[in-house]
Amino acid sequence: MKRIVSLVLFLLLVVGGGLLIGATNRPGEWYQGLSKPPFNPPDWLFAPAWTILYLFIAFVGWRCWQAQPTGRRMQLWWAQLVLNFLWMPMFFGLQQMALALVVIFALLATILAFISLSWRVDRLSAWLFVPYALWTAFATYLNISLMVLN
For residue 6, pLDDT beyond 90 = yes
Three-state secondary structure readout of the chain: CHHHHHHHHHHHHHHHHHHHHHHHCCCHHHHHCCCCCCCCCCHHHHHHHHHHHHHHHHHHHHHHHHHCCCCHHHHHHHHHHHHHHHHHHHHHHCCCHHHHHHHHHHHHHHHHHHHHHHCCCCHHHHHHHHHHHHHHHHHHHHHHHHHHHC
CATH of residue 87's domain is 1.20.1260.100
19-70 tens-digit pLDDT? 999 999 988 899 999 999 999 999 899 989 999 999 999 999 999 999 999 9
Return d(Cα 85, Cα 102) in angstroms, integer. 14
82-105 tens-digit pLDDT? 999 999 999 999 999 999 999 999
Q: What is the pLDDT of residue 1?
A: 79
Q: What is the pLDDT of residue 56?
A: 98
Number of domains in the chain: 1
98-147 tens-digit pLDDT? 999 999 999 999 999 999 999 999 999 999 999 999 999 999 999 999 99
**Domain housing 114:** 2-149
Cα 37 versus chain centre, distance:
22
